[in-house]
Structure formats: C-alpha cells, structure tokens
A and B are shown apart, each in its own frame.
Chain A
Amino acid sequence: MNSERTAQLRVALASYDLKELRVQKRYLQEQGSAIECTCFCSGEKLLQRLQQGARCDAVVLCSELADMSMEQFVRQLYQLKERPVLLVQCAGRRRAAVLPEGCDRCYCVEGTELKRLLWQLYRMPGQQNQQLEQQCGQLYETWGISRADINARYLTCAVSIVCSTSQKLAIRKEILQAVSEQFEASVTAVDSGIRRMVDQLEARPGPAWLAFKADTGLGSGKPTTGKLIYAVRSAVLRQKTDK
C-alpha cells in the first residue's frame, strides 16, 4: 500500500474535543493516502505554530476550540501572512456563520461523513493535486484531448478522489456524486461527460490511447466510466513509482 501513497499532506486538526480529534486523525491516517495529522485543542497554540513557520498544508477546523470560538480562530488565522488552506466542518451550521465574506483558500466541508473531509482534502488546490492534475493532463494530451476540456476535468477530479483512499468506492454514489458536487453539476452530466470523452477516443483511437488501454488491461472494447477512472489511477501511480 505504501507504494501507492502520494506525497505527504500535513494537516492540523483543531477541536476542543479529544474524542473528535482521535477519530478524525485515525480515519485520515489509516484510510487515506499519506496524510500526517497533528491535533490541537488550543487555537492559540496552533496559531503560534503556524507563525513559527511549521509546515502545514491544511487546517481542519472541526468545532469550537478550548480557548476560542471558531469565528475568533478564523479571524486570527486570516491575519497571518502565510497561512495554509482552511477547511471548516460546517455540520449543522451555515457557512456564513463561520466564514467571513470573501475569504480565499477556505472551504466548507458539508455533511458529517469523514470521507467528505478526505475528498475535500484531496480536492483542495495544493501541491499534491497540482501534481496529479499535471500527470492526468499530460496523459490526456497524448490522447489528443485538452486538459482544459470539461469532461477531462471531471475525469481528473474522479481520479483524485479514488487516489485519496485505499477503499473501493461506489462509482455513482461516491465518486461521481463527489465530482458532481465539486462542479455543481448532476451525477448524470458527469457520467455522460466522461462517456462522451471515451466515445470521442474510441471514434478515432490514436496509438497512445490504444497503448494506455493495453498497459492498464482495459481490453479492446469501450471501457466503462468506473474502469477508466481506475485505469487512469493505476497509470498515475505507476508513473510515481517509476520516478
């Protein structure tokens, strides 16, 4: 499993509740790819660490903190010159109640399931995602498809989601659903978008596409959406291992 792991993502989990921190840390570290979590009950202590330049890719604000409210923490975090991406678990709260108007590099994790947090961590703009997007983009370009194509972007997003966990995910209910939320489109639109991309490739199959299908064991027929997502994931992970 280690060979499948992508670059280390450092996450600071913040909550007053040790039980909440414990389950989130264990879930992220055990089921996700290489995520390293550090837990904080004190907002002051976390802000101090960030000020001292501790490497942190994302802060996950799970609930109130022992020494300050969520709002106070967000305000003070936004006063730092260098700050990581902020993910706020909005379970039961309105986004506007926690996040100030127009703050950048800040995302709301809707719902209470931990896998949503995991997906959000892998979807947030950052080195890891950029790297994955770049690899997928290069692959699509060998097939003659622009990386900016919306269907290609759906596929990349789906690949980043399956890369974030070693669990087998349900295609429609979990992967496509998460992509549709990200792009604010319906699951059907995402599914048919990826299928159209396959149709386009199958209509005039180039050598790179045929080689990709052969290398990833897709066979000679038209691949399903699910098979294509996992095949691109294998290709991307193989590239990483080769490097």
Chain B
Amino acid sequence: MKQQRTDARSLTADQQKRIEEVCFRSLALIGHNCEYLEQHFDRTGADESTRQAVADINAAAVKLDRTLSEAMTLLEFLRGDEKPQLYPVDLCDLLRQVAAQADMIRAQLGVEIHLDYGGWTSCCALADRSDAELLCLHLLSNALRASREGGSVNIALRRTQTAWLLTFTDDGCGLPGEDAQAALENRRSFLGGAQLGLLLCQECCRRMGWSLQLEPAPEKGTRAVVSIPLYAGESRPDGTVELRTDTETEQEQRRYHLRAMLVREMRTMPERGDPEKEL
C-alpha cells in the first residue's frame, strides 16, 4: 500500500512517455491542420484575418510544444534515469553551427550575431552533444528575447588556465532588479513564458560538470558565462568515438536539427508593437 502511494506521487518514465505521446500527437494534429489550411487558402483564397487566425493557432501550438518539451526534458534530467553521454566535442564546430543561423536571425528579428573564438580553431571539451546544443540554443534564445531590433548578440570563447569560458552577451533589456526601468523592460521581454529555459541550462551544465553564471554586461544587457573544464585528453578531437562517426551526413543532420530548433524558438518570440495601431 505504501509502495502504491509512493508510485502515485511520482511520475515514472513510462507515464511521462504516455503523457508526451498524447500531448505531442494532439499538437502535431493542430500543426498539420494549420499546414493544410495554409495550403488550402493558397489554392482557394482567404482573407487576411483568416490567414492570421491560422498563423496564431500555429504559433500557440508551437509555444505549447516548446514549453512541454522543456518541462519533459527537465523532468527527465531531474529524475536522473539517463546519464549524459560525455565525449570530446569540438565547441568551435558547435558554435559555427549556431552562428550559421545568423542570416535567418537577422532577417527575422533584425539582431546581429557575432562569433569570436579568440584565435582558437578548435576547442575540445567533454560534453553530451545534445545537452550542449540545448544549452547553446537556450542561451541564444534568451539573448534574442532580451534584444531589440538593431541589437546584437556576441558569442565568444576564451581559454583561461583552468577552463574554457563560453559567453553569450546581449545589449538588450538587462537583468531584473538593477532598477525599476530594467525590471520593467525585463518583464516586457520575458512575460508569457514558463521561464524554464534558464533552469534547463543550469541542469545541462550540472549534468556535464560545467557551470553557468548570469551577470550584467559591461555596458548594457546581460552576459551568460559558461565555465567548461579543460579536457585533459588529446588536444585535438581526432580519434574520439564521437567525432570518428561524425560523417558529413550527420553534420548536415545536426545543422538541420539545430536550425529547426531555432526556427521553432523564433516562432515563440513575443509579437511586438503598439496594439492601438496594429490591431
């Protein structure tokens, strides 16, 4: 009886999988219907408000999908059933993939992405590739949410005696609590989200033995600093299990996956504007 009560109070991996299946199938169905309607409207015609309503349904579904994914990943991490798969990963390569999305970001949000390796051409660190991607994606997403059109995000990599420092610096709203105006700007930028992203980043870091710190940027905005222990193995990633199997197709798939995640992320960005003028 006691055992049953304990089970009822916690969510097992199987239960979580079933919940995910139900939710994601429903979300996929909403997405498919929106896609069908958009195609149907192109053929038959529809007025602007009908198209807008379908686009808004789709955006809401994407936002729900993202929030649910974050919550489920977080639960998985906290349950600790699956240990991270740590292999030597080239961080420069990972960052190049992130920076490859700069054109899309500039076109959609009007924010510039600058990448600065500090002279390094490769940087080997022990990481779970998908955790590292998730971390970069969320740190970039946070920086983009905080930024305004015309702003910029700098991604930099530096080596100290004990660690690699990966920083994401934006010139946006800044951290809350600095002053009332900053708190208000921060609220405007992040209101409406479940704010699980930062928790997820912290969990990704914890799993890989990295650390994360947020601090005010030197002039304006916020800087996220990820501290990554130096890898004591080979200085170049050649010969590692992770990179030996890293074929061109896999690299292409990763780029596509990262781009798809970023596209989804950008669709969840809040719409900005004056409602009196725009609605």
**Residues on A facing B (Cβ under 8 Å):** 16-19, 21-23, 25-26, 38-41, 64, 66-67
> B67-89 interface mask toward A, CB cutoff 8 Å, 1 = contact, 0 = none?
00000000000000000000000
Q: CA separation between A16 and B52, bound complex, in Å? A: 18
B51 to chain A, nearest CB (A): 12
A12 to chain B, nearest CB (A): 10
Q: Give the residue name and chain of the A residue nearest to B188 (CB).
A: A66
Q: Give every chain A residue within 8 A of B178 (Cβ-Cβ).
A: none
A39 and B184 within 8 A (CB):
no
**Residues on B facing A (Cβ under 8 Å):** 49, 52-53, 56, 59-60, 184, 187-188, 191-192, 270-276, 278-279
The answer, among B52, B184, B187, B192, for a CB contact under 8 Å with A17, is B192
B276 and A67 within 8 A (CB):
no
Of listed B49, B53, B59, B191, residue having the most chain A CB within 10 A:
B191
Q: CA separation between A16 and B278, bound complex, in Å? A: 14
Q: CA separation between A17 and B272, bound complex, in Å? A: 9
The answer, among B187, B270, B279, for a CB contact under 8 Å with A39, is B279
The answer, among A26, A40, A67, for a CB contact under 8 Å with B275, is A40
Q: CA separation between A70 and B276, bound complex, in Å? A: 20
Q: Give every chain B residue within 8 A of A21 (Cβ-Cβ).
A: 275, 279
Q: Give the residue name and chain of the A residue nearest to B273 (CB).
A: A18
Q: Give the residue name and chain of the A residue nearest to B49 (CB).
A: A26
Q: Give every chain A residue within 8 A of B271 (Cβ-Cβ).
A: 17-19
Q: Give every chain A residue within 8 A of B49 (Cβ-Cβ).
A: 26
Mostly helix, strand, loop or mixed at chain A's interface?
A: mixed
A74 to chain B, nearest CB (A): 17
Q: CA separation between A22 and B52, bound complex, in Å? A: 9
B278 and A18 within 8 A (CB):
yes
Q: Give every chain A residue within 8 A of B273 (Cβ-Cβ).
A: 18
Q: CA separation between A107 and B54, bound complex, in Å? A: 30
Q: Give every chain B residue within 8 A of A25 (Cβ-Cβ).
A: 279
The answer, among A19, A22, A39, A64, for a CB contact under 8 Å with B191, is A64
Q: Give every chain A residue within 8 A of B60 (Cβ-Cβ).
A: 19
Q: Give the residue name and chain of the B residue nearest to A45 (CB).
A: B276
Closest 9 pairs (CB-CB, A-B): A39-B275, A18-B271, A39-B279, A19-B56, A66-B188, A16-B191, A41-B275, A21-B275, A22-B279
Q: CA separation between A41 and B187, bound complex, in Å? A: 12
Given contacts A16-B192, A18-B270, A21-B279, could you give 20 more A-B pairs where the C-beta distance is less than 8 Å? Answer: A16-B191, A16-B270, A17-B192, A17-B270, A18-B275, A18-B279, A19-B60, A21-B275, A22-B56, A23-B53, A23-B56, A25-B279, A26-B53, A38-B276, A40-B275, A40-B276, A64-B191, A66-B191, A67-B184, A67-B187
